[in-house]
Amino acid sequence: MGNILEAKKLRKEYKTFTLDGVSLSIPKGGILGLIGPNGSGKTTTIRILMNMVLADSGRVEIFGLKHPESEREIKDRIGYVGEEQFYYEHKKVSWTGKFVSQFFSRWDQGIFNGLLDKFGIDPGIRIKNLSKGNKVKLSIAIALSHHPQLLVLDEPTAGLDPVIRREVLEKLLHFRGDEERSVLISSHITDDIMRVADQVAFIVEGRIALNRGKDDILANWKRIHFKAEAIEASLRERLFNLREHVFGNSGVTREYTSIQEALVPGIEAGDIKIENASLDDILIAFVKGKKSCLA
């Protein structure tokens, strides 16, 4: 099938932060969700991929091409929405579309006009009069209007109401529908990642803590609720984020499939209950830095 994007061992050192050894890949038709707390390196990684920041070391290939030799061709085939939206504030939306269209070889004015209508954006309004959410929607409209093969989105749903958020996510799923186009989406809204991504990468303190298929993560990461006597000490040591609650105790495991058999008696007796660990649960586990949670 082939990868549309490959990044190997990216490193970027700042005075107070270091992106260290980040590797990512996205196959054709894939949606990779990049999750991490603020300051973890999500935006730095995306800016390196877009050649907006130069890595100290590492390698990036997109469509089998490299920056800077093929930067123009690469960016012609990418729809990009950055963390912040920068436009000529005194210009109208219609002027902005015409201005941006000059930089893309496959700009489709019909798609752009249709998305403005769908998102409820008046082409005649000036940028300075757009809300933050409408500026994000304008950026998404621009990103989708030149037939890109890869979408790179940094917190694209921030500031959007739930209805538009859902429409944007559905657009992403439709975008990659032919399995020839791919998406990289960074977000702190883990529900959005859960809805659209088929692969999830957690980045914490500049390093990739976990990078696997979403289904694999959901199969192995579970929250276990148990009565104190229901789990022996050797199994309890394989849980983290332990806490007490009304049922008794709970903890998270990253290796449920390997300990499932040992839990069966307690499950059948009603002394153990299992639920999926949320992406938030997993992120919190990594942020807290407990070594036993590392994959």
pLDDT, tens digit, 9 for 90 and up, residues 114-124:
999 988 999 99
What confidence tens digit (pLDDT) does each residue in 123-172 have?
999 999 998 888 988 999 999 999 999 999 998 887 677 887 888 888 88
pLDDT of the residue at 236: 78
Please give the Cα distance from 200 to 193 (Å, whole number): 8
pLDDT of the residue at 289: 56
Of 11 and 180, which is predicted with more confidence?
11
pLDDT exceeding 90 applies to what percent of the chain?
A: 58
At residue 2 the predicted structure's pLDDT band, cuts being 50, 70 and 90, is confident
Instruction: Using CB atoms within 10 Å of the CB of residue 162, give its burial: 0 to 12 exposed, 13 to 18 middle, 19+ buried.
Output: exposed
pLDDT at 249 over 90: no
With beta carbons less than 8 A apart as the criterion, state whether 276 and 253 touch: no
Instruction: Using CB atoms within 10 Å of the CB of residue 244, give its burial: 0 to 12 exposed, 13 to 18 middle, 19+ buried.
Output: exposed
Angle at 159 between CA 128 and CA 124, to 5 degrees: 30
Strands 3-13 and 78-81: unpaired
pLDDT at 290 over 80: no
Please give the Cα distance from 283 to 286 (Å, whole number): 5
Angle at 209 between CA 208 and CA 215, to 5 degrees: 105
pLDDT of the residue at 295: 45
pLDDT at 291 over 70: no
At residue 292 the predicted structure's pLDDT band, cuts being 50, 70 and 90, is very low
Mean pLDDT, residues 254-281 taken together: 90
Q: How far is CA 197 from CA 23, 35, 109, 274, in A?
A: 18, 11, 29, 23
Q: Record the pTM.
A: 0.90
- Domain spans of the chain, in order of start: 3-213, 222-276
pLDDT at 65 over 70: yes
Q: DSSP class of residue 226? A: E
Please give the Cα distance from 150 to 37 (Å, whole number): 24
For the beta carbon of residue 45, count every other beta carbon within 10 angstroms: 27
The reply to whether CATH 3.40.50.300 applies to domain 3-213 is: yes
Please give the Cα distance from 264 to 133 (Å, whole number): 48
With beta carbons less than 8 A apart as the criterion, state whether 250 and 242 touch: yes
One-letter amino acid at 173 equals L
Of 234 and 223, which is predicted with more confidence?
223
Please give the Cα distance from 263 to 271 (Å, whole number): 10
pLDDT at 11 over 50: yes
With beta carbons less than 8 A apart as the criterion, state whether 187 and 155 touch: yes
What confidence tens digit (pLDDT) does each residue in 66-94 have?
998 999 999 999 999 998 889 999 999 99
Please give the Cα distance from 257 to 44 (Å, whole number): 35
Contacts of 151 (CB under 8 A, 6+ apart): 78, 79, 80, 81, 143, 144, 172, 175, 181, 182, 183, 184, 185
With beta carbons less than 8 A apart as the criterion, state whether 242 and 249 touch: yes
What confidence tens digit (pLDDT) does each residue in 14-26 have?
999 999 999 999 9
